[in-house]
Amino acid sequence: MPVERVEGHLTGKRPEEIEEEVRRGVLLTSLDKAVSWARKQSMWPATFGLACCAIEMMSAGAGRYDLSRWGMELFRASPRQADLMIVAGRVSQKMAPVLRRVYDQMVEPKWVISMGVCASAGGMFTNYAIVQGVDTIVPVDIYVPGCPPKPEMLMFGILKLQEKVRTQGTFR
Amino acid sequence: MKPPALAERVGEHLPDVWQSRGEVTVVVPRGELIDALVRLRDQPDLAFGFLCSLTATDHPGKDPRFWIVYELRSVEHAHRLRVKVGLAADDPHVPSVTRLFPTANWHERETWDLFGIVFDDHPDLDRILLPDDWEGHPLRKDEELGGVGTRYHGAFIPPVDERTMP
Amino acid sequence: MSTGQEMDAARDGAPTVQTPVRDRVTGEVRQETMIINMGPQHPSTHGVLRLLLELDGETVIRCKPIVGYLHTGIEKNTEYRTWVQGVAYVTRADYLAPFFNELAYCLSVERLLGIEAPPRAQTIRVLLCELNRIASHLVWMATGGMELGAVSVMLYGFRERELILDIFEAVTGLRMNHSFIRPGGVIMDLPTEGPRMIAKLLDDLPARIDDYERLLDDNPIWKERNVGVGVLSAEDALAYGVTGPLLRAAGVPVDLRRDEPYLGYETYEFDVPVSTDADSYARYRLRVTEMRESLKIVEQALDRLLAEPGPVMVEDPKVAWPARLSVGPDGIGNDETYLRHIMEESMESLIHHFKMVTQGVRVPEGEVYTAVESPRGELGYYVVSNNEHRPYRVKIRDPSFVNLQAVPTMVEGGLIADAIAVIASLDPVMGGVDR
């Protein structure tokens, strides 16, 4: 049976070049994995606690439910030094531009967890004053429902985010 | 003073007074508000020198439409009084009591913000709870609850079952 | 103020000579005041409070607090829901003292209805409210300490609060925002392990509070940052409508549990601490003492609960919440026998249950103002009813909203670092301020 030749990105290259390509691919994959692992291991949240969920977020960072098990106890006040924004609480119309501004000040790569139903979808406050979901303002990676979510629920959301970061490629 | 005695005592100068559910309420015409509050504060057996709360209620279709409600308390005698002022729908003005009770400053700003009641001679009548460029006074009964269909700065949030993934 | 000598002289009160700064281009003397914005996203402003500060170096010349960044429209939302659903909204106003919000709202509704909750319900309410007071003061101490730099106090405060939250979770099912106190009583009785957990807390907590006192009372850094800072005199406090620990620290002994008792507080033995120093340190001592007094009340309430059983919801079928809840294998839910009753035995009960849950109680026309003593001051609810199944108007007189008006008086003239200490000692909760 005749073999059909299909063009690929290595077609027509000399053997040394192909070896170089393979080596670089292996290097990049390992670097990819290493960088993603490092990113998820020590994500620093920016303080964006607004309402009741902020108290549960502080409880999650305190002694019993310890966020520093995953390197996250360091809540950075300055958004330029943070890479995770946990929007904890209800976002009012007056606060929405502030939220967007803080998000814009964060440096890539950045992730957003929307904690609680008020941040995810407006919660029980379907009225004039609350933004019905912060995903209308910033792109959200993980939604954690609850009113307020127990610290264990927030930790589950954070672990899911870490999975997402670990499997997300950087250089391809 | 217990409510029956208090109602009698207040009724000596302000006749429109009644008791209900253990509380004494007196209605004062708008023009006499400041004098009435000063008198209630200065008489030693009444001594209503502490303003707890200042708010409004909206009854559209009735006259008066707005009722401004002042909750007074006396620290010396530990009794309470409610003073109400009625306002017509087309004339939502009432004199500000900030000179008498500095605590009324933010309360009056909140009532202006949510109901649209103008407090004359207020030092700084601005919106306090809503953004400065908000239009409307949401706690009035003819304003809708919002949420679904709120328009602000050009953004429009559709109802929950009409939202689609971007 | 460029040299250290000048700064020392300024601290000791000597007049300073400020070298004028000339603008290089125009040659005019530049004004040295700077207007900066603190918040609304800030680690030390207790939530979304924004402070506009005009500074001359480190001294605050003018301060303007700007609120409204958490305005939720709770008051408008209650007008569109039934009376019992209002409890769920109102409990999220001041989210660190949810039981007090529910209590004041339910007391207002009960006064409008002309009913009174059964004695056991009142005792449970007192127990939960005083535990909430301790939890709220622990959060104050934790966040206040962290803002002033004592980070370990944050971890201790939250550790203690977890003990109290365990009790709340066992009794009400939730750690925060419980919706447990309903018009007519409370929704469920204490679980079987409830008294044991509370007794254990009463054993553990006094020693922990002793620990905090030992850590902070004579701590030179704590005293340096708090003594003489944020002085609010009694006349200023009364003029600004300030209530709660700030008023009691200024020497005015107003406590609504004492002056206008509700829930039978006149039958409990407790002291109301009052101080005359009126500074931030006095408020700290006051709140720690209040925690101990609350423990006394919790102990007395627990003894009463163990002594005599009784109903926890009023008997009137037109008012009482129809569900009979109990703790099952999967948590708190409807009681088995009650479910069988409404689903299989009695159609009227099913209809009654349906109507009570969807429509709820109809409250006669009228208006009341009920005030309770929350951890921050006088929490008042002005509730107007129009003889309907929904409230007509619910106005929340929140103590933090009124207390924040006193911030300029306390902050102006001091250093910017003292502004943080002042806000910490004021203990505002922005959910209550903005509602």
> Mind listing the pLDDT tens digit for each residue in C189-248?
888 888 999 999 999 999 999 998 898 888 899 998 888 888 888 888 899 989 999 999
Contact at CB, B145 and C77, closer than 8 angstroms: yes
Non-local CB neighbours of C195 within 8 Å, separated by 6+ positions: C302, C305, C306
CB atoms within 10 A of CB A150: 19
Q: How far apart are CA B36 and CA B85, in angstroms?
A: 11
In the predicted structure, residue C137 carries a pLDDT above the cut 90: yes
CB-based contact C71 B129, cutoff 8 Å: yes
Q: How far is C40 from chain A (nearest CA, A)?
A: 8
Residue B37 forms part of a structural domain: yes
pLDDT at residue B156 tops 70: no
In a domain, B166, yes or no: no
CA quadruple C169, C174, C176, C182: dihedral, nearest 10? -110
Give the C-alpha separation, C346 to A127, whole Å: 39
With CA atoms as reference, report the closest residue to C73 among C428, C396, C409, C429: C396
> Where residue B19 sits, what CATH number does that domain have?
3.30.460.80
Chain B interface disruption, residue of C367, C386, C397, most B CBs within 10 A:
C367
Q: Does the CB of B18 have a partner CB in chain A at under 8 Å?
A: no
Instruction: List residues bridging with C371 in a β-sheet.
Output: C380
d(CA C398, CA C101): 9
* pLDDT band at A66; cut points 50, 70, 90: confident
Q: What contacts B84, CB < 8 A, 6 or more positions away?
A: B25, B26, B27, B28, B67, B68, B69, B70
Is the residue at A5 inside a domain?
A: no
In a domain, B148, yes or no: no
Q: 3-state DSSP call for residue B80?
A: strand
Q: Per the omega criterion (within 30 degrees of 0), is the bond before A145 cis?
A: no
Determine contact, residues C332/C188, Cβ cutoff 8 Å.
Answer: yes
DSSP state of A172: -
pLDDT digits (tens, 9 = 90+) for B34-88: 999 998 888 888 888 899 999 999 998 888 899 999 999 998 888 899 999 999 8
Compare CB distances from B103 to C254, C384, C405 and report the shortest one's residue: C405
User: Cβ(C90)–Cβ(C180) under 8 Å?
Assistant: no
Work out the number of other CB atoms within 10 angstroms of the CB of residue C299.
15
What is the pLDDT of chain C when averaged over all its residues? 86
Q: Sign of torsion, CA A5 A10 A13 A18?
A: negative
Q: Chain A, 103-122: which have a CB under 8 Å from a chain B CB?
A: 121-122
User: Residue C311 has what pLDDT?
Assistant: 84
Of C43, C70, C176, the CB nearest to A50: C70
Cα angle: C145, vertex C430, C131; to 5 degrees? 65
Q: What is the pLDDT of residues C2-34, one digit of tens each?
A: 445 555 555 555 444 455 566 667 767 666 788
Range of the domain at B9: 3-129
**What is each CA distance from A138 to A47, A131, B114, C147, in whole angstroms?**
16, 12, 29, 29
Task: Name the percent of chain A lying above pLDDT 90.
Answer: 11
Of residues C8, C3, C71, C61, the one with CA closest to residue C34: C61
State whether B131 and A94 contact (CB < 8 Å): yes
Q: Evaluate if residue C411 carries a pLDDT over 50.
A: yes
Strands B17-20 and B23-27 come out as antiparallel
Residue C389 DSSP class: S
Burial class (CB in 10 A: 0-12, 13-18, 19+), C415: middle
- Sheet strands (E) in chain A: 45-46, 84-88, 111-115, 142-144
Of A43-47, B128-132, C81-85, C401-405, the poorest mean pLDDT is in: A43-47
Task: Compute the average pLDDT of residues C366-391.
Answer: 92
Pairing mode, strands C33-38 and C50-56: antiparallel
Q: Test A77 with C42 for CB contact under 8 angstroms.
A: yes
The verdict on residue A28 lying in a domain is no
Q: How much is the pLDDT for A165?
A: 84
Report yes or no on A26 lying in a domain.
no
* Sheet containing C33-38: order of strands: C33-38, C50-56, C59-66
If you search the block for the tokens 């000040």, which residue do you land on? Answer: A105
In a domain, A19, yes or no: no
Query: What is the model's pTM?
Result: 0.88
C240 C-beta neighbours (distance < 10 Å), count: 25
CB contact under 8 A, A64 and C177: no
Q: State CA C194 to chain mean position distance.
A: 23
B160 interaction partners in chain A (CB closer than 8 Å): 121, 132
Q: With residue A129 as reference, give the H or E element that holds it.
A: none
Comparing alpha-carbon positions, the chain C residue that sits nearest to B53 is: C397
Residues facing residue B72 across a β-bridge: B51, B81
Q: Reduced to 3 states, what is the DSSP secondary structure of residue C255?
A: coil
Domain extent for A141: 40-167
Residue B130: helix, strand or coil by DSSP?
coil
Name the residue of chain B whose CA is nearest to C115's CA.
B21
Chain A residues near any Cβ of chain C (below 8 Å): 47-52, 54-56, 58-59, 62-64, 75, 77, 79, 89-90, 92-95, 98, 102, 124-125, 127-130, 147-148, 150
Report the C-alpha gap between C405 and C246 in whole angstroms: 12
B74 touches chain C (CB under 8 A): no
Determine the Cα–Cα distance for residues B3 and B24; give it in Å rounded to an integer: 6
Domain CATH number, residue A156: 3.40.50.12280
Helices (H), C60-118: 74-78, 83-90, 98-113
Show the tokens assigned to C153.
């106090």
Tokens of C203: 């054993």
Q: Is B127 on the interface with A (CB under 8 A)?
A: no
Instruction: Please choose, from the candidates A60, A47, A74, the residue with its C-alpha nearest in 3D space to the C-alpha of residue A158.
Output: A60
Inter-residue contact C178 to C98 (CB < 8 Å): yes
Query: Which of A52, A76, A126, A154 would best serve as a mutation to test chain C binding (most C beta carbons within 10 A)?
Result: A52
Q: Which two tokens stand for residue C236?
A: 């200023």
Beta bridge partners, C190, equal none
Number of separate domains in chain A:
1
Bridge-based pairing state of the strands C366-374 and C377-385 = antiparallel
Q: Are C185 and C313 in contact (CB under 8 A)?
A: yes
Q: How confident is the model at residue C342 (pLDDT cuts 50, 70, 90)?
A: confident
Cβ contact, residue pair C88, A56, below 8 Å: no
Q: Does B83 touch chain C (CB under 8 A)?
A: no
Give CA–CA dist C78/C383, Å, rounded.
11
- Domains along chain C with CATH numbers: 1-29 (no CATH), 74-319+361-402+422-434 (1.10.645.10)
Q: Which of B1-10, B139-148, C210-219 has the lowest mean pLDDT?
A: B139-148
Q: Are C167 and C201 in contact (CB under 8 A)?
A: yes
Question: What residues in B contact A131, CB-CB < 8 Å?
Answer: 157
Q: Which residue of C has its CA nearest to A124?
A: C89
Total number of domains constituting chain B = 1
* The residue type at B14: L
Using a CB-CB distance cutoff of 8 angstroms, which residues of chain A are in contact with residue B147? 122, 125-128, 130, 132
Say yes or no to pLDDT of A172 above 80. Answer: no
Q: In whole angstroms, what is the distance from residue C427 CA to residue C430 CA?
A: 10
Percent helix, strand and coil across chain B, each to the nearest 5: 20, 25, 50
Residues of C in contact with A148 (CB under 8 A): 175-177
Joined tokens for residue C281: 């340190």
Confidence of residue C45 (pLDDT cuts 50, 70, 90): low
- Produce one character per residue of B142-152: b if its CB has 16 or more CB atoms within 10 Å, e if not: ebebbbbebeb
Tokens 């609480």 locate to: A89
Q: Which residues of C touch B129 (CB under 8 A)?
A: 67-68, 71, 434-435
* Interface probe with C: pick from B79, B114, B129, most Cβ of C within 10 Å: B129
CB contact under 8 A, B146 and A129: yes
Q: Evaluate whether residue B107 is within a structural domain.
A: yes
pLDDT tens string C277-302: 888 999 999 999 999 999 999 999 99
Judged by CB atoms closer than 8 Å, whether chains meet at A132 and B131 is answered as no
DSSP C428: -
Which of the other chains make 3 or more beta carbon contacts under 8 angstroms with chain B?
A, C
Phi, psi at residue A94, to the nearest 5°? Answer: -70, -30
Residue B23 forms part of a structural domain: yes
Cβ atoms of residues C238 and C166 within 8 Å? no
Residue B31 lies in a domain: yes
pLDDT, average across residues C390-413: 91
pLDDT at C21: 63
- Check: CB of residue B152 under 8 Å from CB of residue A131: no
Residue B63, domain member (yes or no):
yes
In this predicted structure, what is the pLDDT of residue B124? 85
Q: What is the pLDDT of residue C320?
A: 81
How many CB contacts within 8 angstroms connect chain B with chain C?
Answer: 87
DSSP H helices in C269-346: 280-307, 336-340
Does residue A2 fall inside a structural domain? no
Of the partner residues C241, C367, C384, the one whose CB lies closest to the CB of residue B52: C241
Identify whether B96 is part of a domain: yes
Locate B72 and state its tokens. Answer: 């007074």
Q: Do A93 and B145 touch (CB under 8 A)?
A: no
| Shortest alpha-carbon distance between residue C149 and chain A (Å) | 14
Residues of C in contact with A77 (CB under 8 A): 42-43
